[in-house]
A and B are shown apart, each in its own frame.
Chain A
Amino acid sequence: MANPRGTWTLFKRETQRFLKVYMQTILAPVVNNLLYFAVFGFSMHKAIPDIQGITYLQFMVPGLVIMGLVNNAYQNPSSSIILMKYQGIIGDLLSIPLKTYEIFIAFISSALLRSFIVGLVTFITALFFVSFPYTSVPLILISAFLVSLFFSFLGLFVGIWAKEFDNQMFIQTFLIMPLTFLGGVFYPVSSLPGVIGTIAKFDPIVHMINLLRYGFTGIQEISISLSMTVLVTITVAMGIISYFTLRSGWKLKN
């Protein structure tokens, strides 16, 4: 017994939630990205030589877009579920007549929407200062979609697992941030020395940035097919983990 209107309503609730606090959820990340842009792009890009034939700004923008996608896709479902636990309305979520996949779809689509909005605004702002050759628009769209999807899945999982906002912050600070910075937002991964360089090889965000950067500029540090394989694989795996965690009722039902 499918309940499309119920699913749509939950999607609307999730979306209106982040739109009501757009200062934190949309404006803040965009301002953050603009700051990176100003500091690393404007003031330093003259000091930094071109990388593989593109300017530093062109090199950096795809990385910034990824950062916007990653953080917002992750934060939307995790914050929403943790808040539901704080406010005691998690019981409502378990009492409404929606199947697991319907709740899953509603949360994930809302997270995707928020991450696209932030990614798009970041990108549009960048267009005032820099232009791209756009080697492959389909690749840009597909990889942006997969990146957001992966981190929405992760965010949903973390929201279910977390007892409090500390847990969400922990993952953000000790996992997502380091992987993003080591992932080559601001510099080519191949320029990382020794051990860090080796660690970076196992960083999935390296592949995400590689794909998006190739789509925008045509340069690649790793083969596109390898990066795509890695991204599709981890996204599917994370999706399965997250869906079945929600379905099991772990940490939600007692």
Chain B
Amino acid sequence: MATAISIKNVHKIYSKGENTTHALKDFSLEINSGEFFALLGPNGGGKSTLINIIAGPTKKNSGTIKICGLDIDTHREETKFMIGVVPQEVNFDSFFNVNEVLTFCSGYYGIKNNQNYIDEILEKLNLEDKKFANTRALSGGMKRRLLIAKALVHKPKVLILDEPTAGVDVELRHNLWVYMRELNKAGLTVLLTTHYLEEAESLCRRTAIINKGTVVALDDTKKLIKSLGNYKEMTLNFKDKIGKIPEHLEQFKAKKISDYDLVLTFEPKELNKVLTALKDLNPSDIELQSQSLEDVFLKLTYRS
């Protein structure tokens, strides 16, 4: 299988005066052509640093990165043509409207008359009615979707997204997922960073976890999540004081956290069983939480 992104022994040290941060430590990773790959990691893990090195704004200290076989150091422009990058920081060009920005973007990649494709992307990203709006006048989530559009206008072979769904509401997030899947099916290689396990789980076959600048885990997403013990927590709130914990809830490790609140822990596939068990309990409020990424990292650190 061909390799879309090959990263070998990359080091990045930020230094400002006395302050030095070793953001990437001997980082290596290979992503195959056509893959939908997730890079997961806590704040400060080094995800954006890696992406900015691939994109251009950040310089690495050492190591090699190849895009579809071409070294970014010796083939900087060619490799820029092959990738589309959605940066983490939302930005906007206040002088121009959405359509102008996307037309300029196409031009930078040597494309003339790209209007049809621009319209198609705007529709897929639910931005068509903002086509002539000034970019400053977009909401945060719209600005982020514009970033995605900018990364796509030149039909890259590899799409790299740095937390593309942060600040995008639930419905649009799912639209975005559908669109990214569609692009991936059509042959686009996608590298995605995210804080949401669900996002990685629902989109990406393989996932790497990066912490403190190195890969701490790399596996099939499903296997990875399983090995980490994926579970959900449900908090039940009751109007009346809880007396004894009902026996049939013990299988869900029921725990009283106050006189009125009960916490159940279970695997996602048990959800139906849990709901059935709740039938006669009449809780006044329910809250469902996923195992947080922080829990995952805690486990990983604990293990290693």
Contact = CB atoms under 8 A, between A and B. Distances in A.
A3 B59 contact: no
Contacts of A9: 104, 107-108
B252 interface: no
A5 B55 contact: no
State the majority secondary structure of interface residues on A: helix
B87 interface: yes
B59 A254 contact: yes
Interface residues on B, range: 20 to 34
Interface in A227-254: 249, 252-254
Contact of B95 (A17, A88, A99, A254): A17
A5 B89 contact: no
Contacts of B105: 96
Contact of B107 (A5, A95, A99, A254): A5
Chain B CB within 10 Å — which of A17, A87, A97 has the most? Answer: A97
Contacts of A17: 95
B94 A87 contact: yes
Contact of A89 (B76, B93, B108): B93
Contact of B14 (A6, A21, A87, A254): A254
Interface in A161-176: none
B57 A96 contact: no
Contacts of B219: none
B80 A95 contact: yes
Interface in B102-152: 104-105, 107-112, 150
Interface in B3-21: 14
Contacts of A252: 57
A249 B60 CA distance: 13
Interface of A: 1, 3, 5-6, 8-10, 12-13, 16-17, 20-21, 83, 87-92, 94-99, 249, 252-254
15 contacts: A6-B107, A8-B107, A10-B108, A17-B95, A88-B89, A88-B92, A89-B93, A91-B57, A91-B89, A91-B91, A92-B91, A94-B57, A96-B109, A249-B59, A254-B57
